[in-house]
Amino acid sequence: MADRAEVWLVRHGETEWSVTGRHSGRRDLPLTARGENEARAVAAVLGGRPFGRVLCSPLQRARRTCDIAGYLDGAVIDPEVQEWDYGDCTGYTQEELSARFPDWNVWKGPLPNGESIEDVAARARRVAARIRNSAGPVALFAHGHFLRVFTTQWLGLAPAAGRHLALETSSLCILGEDAGFPAIRAWNVRNGEGASRVGS
């Protein structure tokens, strides 16, 4: 079996809704001023590191993060890596949704008129299959919940296991393998702490 690709996951910088805890989904929100600064910190961490492939969500918060980081010109804009479509739950906070649906959380729903967790996992598996044997490392500029589900599929876990993988804005994660097993090499790294010790 060919070695698995090394995948660098980059969550976009801060938006107004990430600050207030509103579920952004497919709402096309810009970065805040702080989010732009966070993207500059991502650029400093990556330092122009070469990638064999760069995939980026079409949503502007991911595209802007990718642009500031210096990779947009060579990126493939890929709708399969955009955020989970929360349907009618878009724009609401956890507390507001729990008032409508007792014990609600995104991992179990419901998400009326949105994607199921299985839908998101299927997208993630398709992306993983396309990049698994890429020559050189791959970068994904995308979104918190999608990247958490993507990681579960890379590792061969149930998609709802993503609930255990907290991911902050402008954070960097590295997936690869360890002793032949798919593995997390770094997780939720910000400001470069830890990233220099892993990866190719």
Number of residues written out for the chain: 200
Asked if residue 198 is part of any domain, the answer here is no
Asked if residue 104 is part of any domain, the answer here is yes
More confident residue, 175 or 195: 175
For the chain, the 3-state helix, strand and coil shares in percent, each to the nearest 5, are 40, 15, 40
* Cβ-proximal residues to 194 (8 Å cutoff; 6+ apart), any chain: 186
CATH number of residue 50's parent domain: 3.40.50.1240
For residues 102 and 152, give the distance between their C-alpha atoms in angstroms, rounded to a whole number.
26
Work out the mean pLDDT of the chain and round it to a whole number: 93
* Cβ-proximal residues to 119 (8 Å cutoff; 6+ apart), any chain: none
Asked if residue 166 is part of any domain, the answer here is yes
Residue 167 in this model has a pLDDT that exceeds 70: yes
For residues 113-143, one letter each, b for 16 or more C-beta atoms within 10 angstroms of the residue's C-beta and e for the rest, the string is ebbebeebbbbbbebbeebbebeebbbbbbb
In this prediction, what percent of the chain has a pLDDT beyond 70? 94
β-bridge mates for residue 77, sequence order = 56
Q: What is the mean predicted confidence (pLDDT) over 132-137? A: 86
Asked if residue 199 is part of any domain, the answer here is no
Helices H, strands E: what count in the chain? 6, 6
pLDDT band at 184 (very low <50, low <70, confident <90, very high): very high
For residues 148 and 162, give the distance between their C-alpha atoms in angstroms, rounded to a whole number.
5
Asked if residue 160 is part of any domain, the answer here is yes
Q: What is the mean predicted confidence (pLDDT) over 115-132? A: 96
Rounded to two decimals, the pTM is 0.93
Query: Is 12 considered catalytic here?
Result: yes
Q: What pLDDT score was predicted for residue 133?
A: 83
Query: Is 83 considered catalytic here?
Result: yes
Q: Which of 12, 23, 143, 145 is catalytic?
A: 12
Asked if residue 87 is part of any domain, the answer here is yes
**Could you report how far apart the first and last alpha carbons of the chain are, in Å?**
20
Of 74, 79, 88, 90, which is closest to residue 57 (Cα–Cα)? 79
For residues 115 and 96, give the distance between their C-alpha atoms in angstroms, rounded to a whole number.
19
Looking only at the bridges linking them, the beta strands covering 181-189 and 172-178 are antiparallel
Total structural domains within the chain: 1
Asked if residue 1 is part of any domain, the answer here is no
Residue 166 in this model has a pLDDT that exceeds 90: yes
Amino acid found at 169? T
Q: What pLDDT score was predicted for residue 136?
A: 87
Q: Which of 6, 14, 38, 83 is catalytic?
A: 83
Asked if residue 59 is part of any domain, the answer here is yes
Q: What is the mean predicted confidence (pLDDT) over 48-76? A: 97
β-bridge mates for residue 176, sequence order = 183
More confident residue, 108 or 200: 108
Residue 29 in this model has a pLDDT that exceeds 90: yes
> And the tokens for 73?
């010109």
Range of the domain at 100: 7-193
